Structure 1
């Protein structure tokens, strides 16, 4: 089963205003560049997303609980930006970081093997972790970015994360916003997932 297709169809069914948000032109050609940048083979579920589309149009409302599905071009841009930040040195930045899922995520501000998938437009992301901590799982889904010092594992794989998102679309905490998008209880989705994962 293609979990992305299931999720996409459910979102577009529940929130028709988002039907034209997704860029339907796929861009699998860029995936080799992304794999090279993170130094890892990409999960099949990640490849399947970009065989179906190339993220969303950046001028539209966030497709996934207010977060934007990044295009491959945007992913490559973000990976290069974060690589530059890491190359300049993270002195003092790592000290404020934590892993809310104990030992599962490396205590780092940034890592070249964190692959962004969803973004809030402010430098914060949900993505794939190819360099987990001692008790983590390679390919786990975590939060990271400019304001995300406290990191958390949201799912052990991208497939599991897509299933979780689909399940959350049935939650009574789902709220339709004025622009036709939706949120989880009017909360920034990364924060909402942190709260849910700590229960």
Structure 2
């Protein structure tokens, strides 16, 4: 996923907001929060602020309106391919610390000589433990992947 400029963030947020207004009655809401209760189970929330995207309809996003167990400012993944929404980090700084650690350790690939793709844990691993209170794939991704 690419990190967005401020203008791109606003544009991406605006696109999702317009989609919410236009299609809210027709969207089949089948959203799931992982961990359970941390993210509001909706297609889109106007208090989610995308800061990264994959140009295929998916985003890393600041969640400023979390579920009852979540934290304002947590980083989540949502988008076209994610009916299940995952908490990736408790804060933007935690997210970027993980990103920097991946760069230092060589856990990335360069795609088309254009952008860096950080080797992320498989998000589907998270579904097996939805009720874990402190689930955080950025802190625990190695142990999560080894338990597959």
Stretch of structure 1 that moved more, 110-119 or 141-150:
141-150
The structural deviation recorded for 1:145 is: 1.6
The structural deviation recorded for 1:193 is: 6.0
Say which SS state the counterpart of residue 104 (structure 2) adopts: coil
The structural deviation recorded for 1:178 is: 5.4
- Aligned partner of 1:93 in structure 2 is 27
| Aligned mates of 1:172, 1:79 — CA distance in 2 | 31
More helix by share: 1
Tell me if structure 2 keeps the 8 A contact 1:86–1:110. yes
- Aligned partner of 2:113 in structure 1 is 179
Within the candidate set 50, 63, 72, 1:138 is matched to: 72
TM-score, normalised via structure 1 length: 0.56
Say which SS state the counterpart of residue 78 (structure 2) adopts: strand
Question: Residue deviations 1:167-199, cap 9 Å, x none?
Answer: 1223464334452644345xxx5xx36258262
- Aligned partner of 1:112 in structure 2 is 46
Tell me if structure 1 keeps the 8 A contact 2:58–2:80. yes
The size of the alignment, in residue pairs, is 128
Q: Which runs of 5+ in 1 are unaligned?
A: 1-66
CA RMSD of superposed structures (Å): 2.4
Tell me if structure 1 keeps the 8 A contact 2:39–2:85. yes
| Aligned mates of 1:172, 1:133 — CA distance in 2 | 34
TM-score, normalised via structure 2 length: 0.73
Tell me if structure 2 keeps the 8 A contact 1:154–1:193. no
Tell me if structure 2 keeps the 8 A contact 1:94–1:107. no
CA gap 1:175/1:68 in 2 versus in 1, 3 angstroms: closer
Say which SS state the counterpart of residue 104 (structure 1) adopts: coil
The structural deviation recorded for 1:155 is: 0.8
Tell me if structure 1 keeps the 8 A contact 2:2–2:115. no
2:15 corresponds to 1:81: yes
Q: Which runs of 5+ in 2 are unaligned?
A: 126-135
Say which SS state the counterpart of residue 29 (structure 2) adopts: helix
